[in-house]
Amino acid sequence: MIPAQFEYEVADSVEHAIELLGSKDDAKLLAGGHSLLPFMKFRLARPATLVDIGRISGLASVTDDGDHLAIGALTRHHDLEHDPLVREYCPLLGYAAGLVGDSQVRHRGTIGGSLAHGDSAADLPTIALTVDADIVVQGPGGRRTVAAADFFKGFYETALEENEVIVEVRVPKLGDAGWSYIKFRRRALDWATVGVAVVVESGNGTIGSARIGLTNMGETPLRAAAAEEALAGVSRDGVAAAAAKADEGSDPPSDTSASADFRRHLCRVLTARAVEEALTR
Protein backbone atom coordinates (compact mmCIF):
# COMPACT_ATOMS: atom_id res chain seq x y z
CA MET A 1 0.00 0.00 0.00
CA ILE A 2 2.83 2.39 0.87
CA PRO A 3 5.95 2.03 -1.31
CA ALA A 4 9.46 2.33 0.05
CA GLN A 5 11.04 5.78 -0.34
CA PHE A 6 12.11 6.85 -3.81
CA GLU A 7 13.22 9.93 -5.69
CA TYR A 8 11.03 11.31 -8.45
CA GLU A 9 12.28 13.00 -11.62
CA VAL A 10 10.33 14.32 -14.55
CA ALA A 11 11.89 13.85 -17.99
CA ASP A 12 11.05 16.53 -20.53
CA SER A 13 12.42 14.62 -23.52
CA VAL A 14 13.51 11.11 -24.44
CA GLU A 15 17.12 12.27 -24.31
CA HIS A 16 16.53 13.68 -20.83
CA ALA A 17 15.00 10.41 -19.71
CA ILE A 18 18.00 8.47 -21.01
CA GLU A 19 20.33 10.88 -19.26
CA LEU A 20 18.43 10.48 -15.97
CA LEU A 21 18.46 6.70 -16.31
CA GLY A 22 22.22 6.87 -16.75
CA SER A 23 22.94 9.28 -13.93
CA LYS A 24 20.71 7.85 -11.19
CA ASP A 25 21.31 4.57 -9.42
CA ASP A 26 18.58 1.99 -9.76
CA ALA A 27 16.23 4.23 -11.74
CA LYS A 28 13.04 2.99 -13.36
CA LEU A 29 10.86 4.60 -15.99
CA LEU A 30 7.35 5.55 -15.00
CA ALA A 31 4.78 5.69 -17.80
CA GLY A 32 1.17 4.78 -16.97
CA GLY A 33 2.30 3.24 -13.70
CA HIS A 34 -0.26 0.46 -13.67
CA SER A 35 2.28 -2.35 -13.60
CA LEU A 36 5.11 -0.70 -11.69
CA LEU A 37 3.18 1.10 -8.95
CA PRO A 38 1.35 -2.00 -7.66
CA PHE A 39 4.72 -3.78 -7.47
CA MET A 40 6.10 -0.84 -5.52
CA LYS A 41 3.11 -0.70 -3.19
CA PHE A 42 3.65 -4.34 -2.30
CA ARG A 43 7.36 -3.43 -1.92
CA LEU A 44 8.18 -6.09 -4.49
CA ALA A 45 9.89 -3.34 -6.53
CA ARG A 46 12.00 -0.70 -4.79
CA PRO A 47 13.53 1.57 -7.39
CA ALA A 48 15.63 4.37 -5.91
CA THR A 49 14.39 6.80 -8.55
CA LEU A 50 11.36 7.03 -10.78
CA VAL A 51 11.86 8.84 -14.07
CA ASP A 52 8.45 10.02 -15.19
CA ILE A 53 8.20 10.03 -18.98
CA GLY A 54 4.48 10.77 -18.98
CA ARG A 55 4.98 14.42 -19.89
CA ILE A 56 7.19 13.88 -22.93
CA SER A 57 5.27 15.16 -25.91
CA GLY A 58 4.98 13.39 -29.25
CA LEU A 59 5.06 9.83 -27.94
CA ALA A 60 1.32 9.23 -27.78
CA SER A 61 0.20 9.09 -31.37
CA VAL A 62 -0.68 6.58 -34.06
CA THR A 63 0.48 7.39 -37.59
CA ASP A 64 0.19 5.64 -40.94
CA ASP A 65 3.72 4.85 -42.08
CA GLY A 66 3.09 2.95 -45.31
CA ASP A 67 3.15 -0.79 -44.68
CA HIS A 68 2.88 -0.37 -40.94
CA LEU A 69 1.45 1.82 -38.20
CA ALA A 70 3.86 3.76 -36.05
CA ILE A 71 2.51 3.77 -32.53
CA GLY A 72 4.06 6.06 -29.95
CA ALA A 73 5.16 4.27 -26.81
CA LEU A 74 2.95 6.41 -24.54
CA THR A 75 -0.25 5.58 -26.45
CA ARG A 76 -2.72 4.42 -23.88
CA HIS A 77 -4.74 1.21 -24.19
CA HIS A 78 -8.00 3.12 -24.34
CA ASP A 79 -6.70 5.23 -27.22
CA LEU A 80 -5.46 2.16 -29.09
CA GLU A 81 -8.87 0.56 -28.68
CA HIS A 82 -10.60 3.54 -30.27
CA ASP A 83 -8.01 4.72 -32.78
CA PRO A 84 -9.40 4.73 -36.37
CA LEU A 85 -6.09 3.71 -37.95
CA VAL A 86 -5.66 0.82 -35.54
CA ARG A 87 -9.23 -0.24 -36.17
CA GLU A 88 -8.69 -0.20 -39.90
CA TYR A 89 -5.22 -1.69 -40.23
CA CYS A 90 -4.70 -3.78 -37.12
CA PRO A 91 -8.06 -4.36 -35.45
CA LEU A 92 -6.52 -7.27 -33.51
CA LEU A 93 -4.41 -4.81 -31.53
CA GLY A 94 -7.30 -2.46 -30.79
CA TYR A 95 -9.52 -5.35 -29.74
CA ALA A 96 -6.89 -6.80 -27.40
CA ALA A 97 -6.17 -3.36 -25.91
CA GLY A 98 -9.86 -3.16 -25.03
CA LEU A 99 -9.50 -6.35 -22.97
CA VAL A 100 -6.63 -5.13 -20.80
CA GLY A 101 -7.54 -4.76 -17.11
CA ASP A 102 -10.40 -2.45 -16.38
CA SER A 103 -11.34 1.00 -17.56
CA GLN A 104 -8.99 2.79 -15.17
CA VAL A 105 -6.06 0.65 -16.27
CA ARG A 106 -6.85 1.23 -19.95
CA HIS A 107 -6.93 4.99 -19.44
CA ARG A 108 -3.52 5.00 -17.74
CA GLY A 109 -1.57 2.05 -19.11
CA THR A 110 0.60 2.51 -22.20
CA ILE A 111 1.71 0.12 -24.94
CA GLY A 112 5.37 0.90 -24.31
CA GLY A 113 4.95 0.29 -20.59
CA SER A 114 3.21 -3.01 -21.18
CA LEU A 115 5.92 -4.28 -23.53
CA ALA A 116 8.74 -3.06 -21.28
CA HIS A 117 7.17 -4.77 -18.25
CA GLY A 118 7.42 -8.05 -20.18
CA ASP A 119 4.66 -9.87 -18.32
CA SER A 120 3.80 -13.05 -20.21
CA ALA A 121 0.27 -12.90 -18.76
CA ALA A 122 -0.34 -9.48 -20.37
CA ASP A 123 -2.17 -9.13 -23.67
CA LEU A 124 -0.19 -6.63 -25.71
CA PRO A 125 3.16 -8.48 -25.66
CA THR A 126 1.36 -11.47 -27.21
CA ILE A 127 -0.22 -9.30 -29.87
CA ALA A 128 3.13 -7.65 -30.69
CA LEU A 129 4.69 -11.09 -31.06
CA THR A 130 1.81 -12.43 -33.15
CA VAL A 131 1.76 -9.59 -35.67
CA ASP A 132 5.59 -9.46 -35.88
CA ALA A 133 5.79 -5.92 -34.57
CA ASP A 134 9.09 -4.08 -34.37
CA ILE A 135 9.97 -2.24 -31.19
CA VAL A 136 12.01 0.94 -31.57
CA VAL A 137 14.17 1.71 -28.56
CA GLN A 138 16.42 4.68 -27.95
CA GLY A 139 19.54 4.72 -25.81
CA PRO A 140 22.61 6.93 -25.32
CA GLY A 141 23.94 5.78 -28.68
CA GLY A 142 20.77 6.45 -30.64
CA ARG A 143 17.92 4.28 -31.85
CA ARG A 144 17.73 0.60 -32.67
CA THR A 145 14.89 -1.64 -33.74
CA VAL A 146 14.19 -4.97 -32.07
CA ALA A 147 11.80 -7.52 -33.56
CA ALA A 148 9.16 -8.63 -31.07
CA ALA A 149 10.44 -12.18 -31.53
CA ASP A 150 13.78 -11.04 -30.09
CA PHE A 151 12.40 -8.67 -27.47
CA PHE A 152 10.91 -10.94 -24.80
CA LYS A 153 13.75 -12.76 -23.09
CA GLY A 154 12.40 -14.32 -19.93
CA PHE A 155 10.30 -13.87 -16.81
CA TYR A 156 9.66 -10.08 -16.74
CA GLU A 157 12.83 -9.79 -18.79
CA THR A 158 13.22 -8.01 -22.14
CA ALA A 159 15.96 -6.97 -24.58
CA LEU A 160 15.71 -3.42 -23.24
CA GLU A 161 19.03 -2.21 -21.78
CA GLU A 162 19.05 -0.37 -18.47
CA ASN A 163 19.30 3.07 -20.01
CA GLU A 164 17.05 2.51 -23.02
CA VAL A 165 13.53 3.81 -23.60
CA ILE A 166 10.91 2.32 -25.90
CA VAL A 167 9.82 5.14 -28.19
CA GLU A 168 7.72 3.46 -30.85
CA VAL A 169 6.02 0.22 -31.78
CA ARG A 170 5.79 -0.56 -35.51
CA VAL A 171 2.80 -2.74 -36.24
CA PRO A 172 2.51 -4.22 -39.74
CA LYS A 173 -0.84 -3.69 -41.42
CA LEU A 174 -2.83 -6.91 -41.43
CA GLY A 175 -4.30 -6.40 -44.88
CA ASP A 176 -6.95 -9.03 -45.63
CA ALA A 177 -5.78 -11.46 -43.00
CA GLY A 178 -8.39 -12.79 -40.60
CA TRP A 179 -7.73 -12.37 -36.89
CA SER A 180 -8.92 -13.35 -33.46
CA TYR A 181 -7.92 -12.98 -29.85
CA ILE A 182 -9.60 -15.14 -27.25
CA LYS A 183 -8.72 -14.21 -23.72
CA PHE A 184 -9.88 -16.78 -21.17
CA ARG A 185 -10.01 -15.24 -17.74
CA ARG A 186 -11.93 -15.74 -14.54
CA ARG A 187 -13.12 -12.16 -14.20
CA ALA A 188 -13.42 -9.45 -16.83
CA LEU A 189 -10.61 -7.40 -15.26
CA ASP A 190 -8.17 -10.29 -14.78
CA TRP A 191 -5.03 -11.19 -16.64
CA ALA A 192 -5.49 -14.00 -19.11
CA THR A 193 -5.50 -17.48 -17.65
CA VAL A 194 -4.62 -18.29 -21.24
CA GLY A 195 -4.92 -16.07 -24.30
CA VAL A 196 -4.65 -17.07 -27.93
CA ALA A 197 -4.13 -14.59 -30.75
CA VAL A 198 -4.43 -15.69 -34.34
CA VAL A 199 -3.73 -14.01 -37.67
CA VAL A 200 -4.58 -16.16 -40.66
CA GLU A 201 -4.20 -15.72 -44.42
CA SER A 202 -6.57 -17.89 -46.40
CA GLY A 203 -8.14 -18.30 -49.80
CA ASN A 204 -10.18 -20.87 -51.69
CA GLY A 205 -11.01 -22.68 -48.49
CA THR A 206 -7.36 -23.26 -47.70
CA ILE A 207 -5.25 -21.69 -45.02
CA GLY A 208 -2.16 -20.09 -46.48
CA SER A 209 -0.33 -19.19 -43.32
CA ALA A 210 -1.27 -18.75 -39.70
CA ARG A 211 0.44 -16.90 -36.89
CA ILE A 212 -0.56 -17.92 -33.38
CA GLY A 213 0.52 -16.11 -30.24
CA LEU A 214 0.00 -17.41 -26.71
CA THR A 215 -0.52 -15.46 -23.50
CA ASN A 216 0.48 -16.90 -20.10
CA MET A 217 1.77 -20.19 -21.50
CA GLY A 218 5.37 -19.70 -20.41
CA GLU A 219 7.84 -17.19 -19.07
CA THR A 220 7.40 -15.03 -22.17
CA PRO A 221 4.66 -14.63 -24.74
CA LEU A 222 5.05 -17.52 -27.18
CA ARG A 223 4.34 -18.43 -30.78
CA ALA A 224 2.62 -21.80 -31.24
CA ALA A 225 5.10 -22.87 -33.90
CA ALA A 226 3.96 -26.48 -34.24
CA ALA A 227 0.33 -25.48 -34.72
CA GLU A 228 1.30 -22.73 -37.16
CA GLU A 229 3.20 -25.24 -39.23
CA ALA A 230 0.38 -27.76 -39.11
CA LEU A 231 -2.13 -25.17 -40.31
CA ALA A 232 -0.20 -24.09 -43.38
CA GLY A 233 -1.96 -25.32 -46.48
CA VAL A 234 -4.75 -27.21 -44.76
CA SER A 235 -8.48 -26.77 -45.17
CA ARG A 236 -10.89 -25.98 -42.37
CA ASP A 237 -11.12 -29.68 -41.63
CA GLY A 238 -7.50 -29.63 -40.53
CA VAL A 239 -7.96 -27.00 -37.85
CA ALA A 240 -8.76 -29.38 -34.98
CA ALA A 241 -5.69 -31.54 -35.57
CA ALA A 242 -3.45 -28.51 -35.85
CA ALA A 243 -4.90 -26.87 -32.73
CA ALA A 244 -4.11 -30.04 -30.79
CA LYS A 245 -0.44 -29.07 -31.19
CA ALA A 246 -0.94 -25.52 -29.92
CA ASP A 247 0.67 -26.13 -26.52
CA GLU A 248 3.72 -27.92 -27.90
CA GLY A 249 6.86 -26.26 -26.65
CA SER A 250 5.05 -24.19 -24.07
CA ASP A 251 5.77 -24.25 -20.34
CA PRO A 252 2.67 -22.89 -18.64
CA PRO A 253 2.65 -22.00 -14.93
CA SER A 254 0.53 -23.58 -12.22
CA ASP A 255 -1.02 -21.01 -9.93
CA THR A 256 -4.26 -20.22 -8.16
CA SER A 257 -5.94 -19.42 -11.49
CA ALA A 258 -5.22 -22.74 -13.17
CA SER A 259 -2.89 -25.72 -13.23
CA ALA A 260 -0.41 -26.13 -16.05
CA ASP A 261 -2.42 -29.10 -17.35
CA PHE A 262 -5.59 -27.08 -17.56
CA ARG A 263 -3.74 -24.25 -19.28
CA ARG A 264 -2.48 -26.70 -21.92
CA HIS A 265 -6.01 -27.94 -22.43
CA LEU A 266 -7.39 -24.42 -22.69
CA CYS A 267 -4.64 -23.48 -25.10
CA ARG A 268 -5.68 -26.24 -27.51
CA VAL A 269 -9.41 -25.52 -27.22
CA LEU A 270 -8.99 -21.77 -27.59
CA THR A 271 -6.61 -22.13 -30.52
CA ALA A 272 -9.19 -24.13 -32.46
CA ARG A 273 -11.83 -21.54 -31.65
CA ALA A 274 -9.59 -18.60 -32.46
CA VAL A 275 -8.58 -20.04 -35.83
CA GLU A 276 -12.24 -20.73 -36.66
CA GLU A 277 -13.14 -17.19 -35.70
CA ALA A 278 -10.23 -15.72 -37.64
CA LEU A 279 -11.37 -17.57 -40.75
CA THR A 280 -14.72 -15.78 -40.55
CA ARG A 281 -13.17 -12.31 -40.29
Partner 1 sequence: MATVERPAKFVGTSQLRKEDPELVTGQGGYVDNITLPGMLWVGIVRSPFAHARIGSIDVSKALELEGIVAAYTGADLEFAAPLVMAWPINAEVKNPPHHPLTKDKARYVGDPVAVVVAESRAIAKDALELVEVDWEPLPAVTDIKAALEPGAPIVHEEFGTNDAGSWIMERDSPAPRRGPSAPFFEDPDLVKIKEEYYLARLIPNAMEPRGVVVDPNVAMGEYTVITATQIPHILRTTLAITCGIPEAKLRVIAPDVGGGFGSKLEAYPEDAICLALAQKLNRPVKWIEERSENYVATLHGREMVQEIELAATREGDLKAVRVNLKASMGAYMRLITPGIPMLGAWLYHGCYECEGYDFQYTNVFTNATFTDAYRGAGRPEATYAIERAMDALARELEMDPVELRRRNFIATDKFPNYTIASGLTVDSADYHGTLDKCLEVLDYEGIRAEQRSRRERGERKLLGVGFSTWIEMCGLAPSRVLAALNYIAGGWDAATIEFMPTGTVRVLTGVSPHGQGSATAFAQVVADQLGLDYDDIDVLHGDTGMVPFGMDTYGSRGVSVGGVALFKAGEKIIAKARTLAAHELECAETDLEFEHGNFTVKGTDRTANIKALGFNSWTAHNLPEGMEPGLTATHLYDPPNFSWPNGAHCCVVEVDQDTGAVEIVRYIAVDDCGVQLNPMLVQGQVHGGVAQGIAEALYEEAIYDEEGNLTTGTMTNYLVPGAPEIPSFEIHDRVTPSPTNPLGVKGIGEAGTIAAPPAVINSVVDALAHLGVRNIERPATAERVWRAIQEAQA
Contacts with partner 1 by CB under 8 A lie at 1-2, 4-5, 42-43, 102, 184, 186-191, 193, 255-259, 262, 265-266, 269-270
- Minimum CB distance to partner 1 smaller for 170 or for 268: 268
Three-state DSSP at 214 gives strand
The backbone region for 256, taken as left when phi is positive above 0, alpha when psi lies in -120 to 50, beta otherwise, is: alpha
- In angstroms, give the least distance from the CB of 152 to partner 1: 21
**Nearer residue to partner 1 within complex by CB, 99 or 231:** 99
How does DSSP classify residue 48? S
Q: CB under 8 Å to 232, separation ≥6 — which residues?
A: 207, 208, 209, 210
At closest approach, how far in Å is the CB of 2 from partner 1?
5
Minimal distance, residue 101 CB to partner 1, in Å: 11
CB of 250 to partner 1, least distance (A): 17
Q: Give the integer Cα–Cα distance in Å for 9 and 147.
A: 30
Query: Smallest gap, in angstroms, from Cβ of residue 217 to partner 1?
Result: 15
DSSP 76: B
d(CA 46, CA 56): 24
CB 72, CB 58: distance < 8 Å: yes
Q: Which is nearer to partner 1, 235 or 254 (CB)?
A: 254
Q: b or e along 112-122 (b: 16 or more beta carbons within 10 Å of the residue's beta carbon)? A: bbbbbbbbbbb
Instruction: Name which of 38 and 58 has its Cβ closer to partner 1.
Output: 38
Report how many helices (DSSP H) and strands (DSSP E) the chain contains, helices first.
Answer: 12, 14
Kindly tell me which of 127 and 266 has the beta carbon lying closer to partner 1: 266
Distance, C-alpha 232 to centroid of its chain: 24
Q: How far is the CB of 139 from partner 1 (least distance, A)?
A: 33
Nearer Cβ to partner 1, position 95 or 191?
Answer: 191
